[in-house]
Amino acid sequence: MKRRTLLALPALLPATASAQSFGSRPIRVIVPFAAGGAADSATRALTPGLSQRLGATIVVENRTGAGGSLGGNEVARAAPDGHTLLMDASSHLVNPALLRGLAFEYATAFAPISLAVTFPQVLAVKNDLPARDLREFIALARRQTMNIGTQGNATAGHLGLVQFARAAGIELTHVPYRGGADAARDLAAGTLDGAFITMLSAGPIVDSGRARFLAVSAPQRVSLRPDVHTFAEAGTPGIELSEWCALFAPAGTPPALVTQIHGALAATLAEADVQRRLAQLAAVPVGSDPATFARFVAEGRTAMATLVREANIRID
């Protein structure tokens, strides 16, 4: 599927003399996931600011399929001139361990620009589950089968669920869906005991009284839901795996251009209005520099490959 949306007119302010001018050509930002999801929503919150600062029209294109690798391939084979960018998610680290026959290598096809935002995962349970906190949930899971939904196999929710079960010493039955909204729907209907999904997906059914939050997989509480304990506060430390959105360029993009795009992104993330919009998505702004983000990607790819292997995770 492909969806294009014109987000902003070219900025009226000229580019500075030291920065590359993008001219009349638009910048394409490829989102390899469906419109309306976490990655797409965050991208559309950021692109107006990027458009203004880079002096260019920005077009968001949703290129879905194959765990995000179809959109990744579109960017991997693009010219390294800053006019085609990838806003990818945590599957960027997991796909190399799961997918075979890719037309590109994740480790060499991209120039990391910045980790833009994170989306902490939450453990939410159906409202009538007889467990009022995480300790009671763990005790209950030792006595009975618990069906827990996620956004799908090998997603951040699935990997976080594996981490949690291993840390707590319990077995949980994983029920993969095609997205967090689908898992939330069945949790609300009571056909799932719980779901390990984003706060954005779980929030509406919690607000309606059909589910409850038990813990959030973040180092500190999320400002949108300050009453939700972290896993560490709830008694199970080390569960901090979040979904995230990050910006990449094709490999070979000049370092000066990567720095320019990162600067525009970091300045956009610092805007109060952008931070308010991201907070409404339960997203945490980051804006890491290219070198720091490159280390994050390399270390995360190794860690995720180990987790996938040890937990025997499969894509289907």
Instruction: With H, G, I as helix, E, B as strand and everything else as coil, classify residue 3.
Output: strand
Q: For residue 251, give the DSSP letter.
A: T
Tokens of 230: 């972290």
Per-residue model confidence (pLDDT) at position 181 = 86
For the chain, the straight-line distance linking the first and the last C-alpha, in angstroms and rounded, comes to 20
CA 293 – CA 297 distance, rounded (Å): 6
Same CATH fold assignment for domains 2-118+244-311 and 119-216: yes
Burial label for 164, CB within 10 Å (0-12, 13-18, 19+), is: buried
Per-residue model confidence (pLDDT) at position 9 = 31
* CATH architecture of structural domain 119-216: 3-Layer(aba) Sandwich (3.40)
- The string of pLDDT tens digits covering residues 261-272 is 999 999 999 999
Q: Is the dihedral of CA 72, 288, 6, 272 positive or negative?
A: positive
Domain assignments of the chain as residue spans, ordered by start: 2-118+244-311, 119-216
- The string of pLDDT tens digits covering residues 172-207 is 999 998 888 899 999 999 999 999 999 989 999 999
User: What are the average pLDDT values for consecutive 10-residue runs of the chain, which has 316 residues?
Assistant: 36 43 87 87 95 95 90 97 96 91 95 96 96 97 97 88 95 91 95 95 95 94 92 94 94 97 97 94 94 96 89 76
Fold classification of 2-118+244-311 is: D-Maltodextrin-Binding Protein; domain 2 (3.40.190)
Per-residue model confidence (pLDDT) at position 248 = 98
DSSP codes of every residue in 59-103: EEEEE--GGGHHHHHHHHTS-SSSSEEEEE-THHHHHHHH--S-S
The residues facing 28 across adjacent strands are 59, 84
Indicate the pTM of the whole model.
0.85
Stated as kind and residue range, the H or E segment containing 250 is: strand 242-250
- The closest of 166, 308, 144, 154 to 237, measured between CA atoms, is 166
Q: In one letter, which amino acid is 252?
A: G
Stated as kind and residue range, the H or E segment containing 283 is: none
Burial label for 311, CB within 10 Å (0-12, 13-18, 19+), is: middle
**Chain length of the chain:** 316
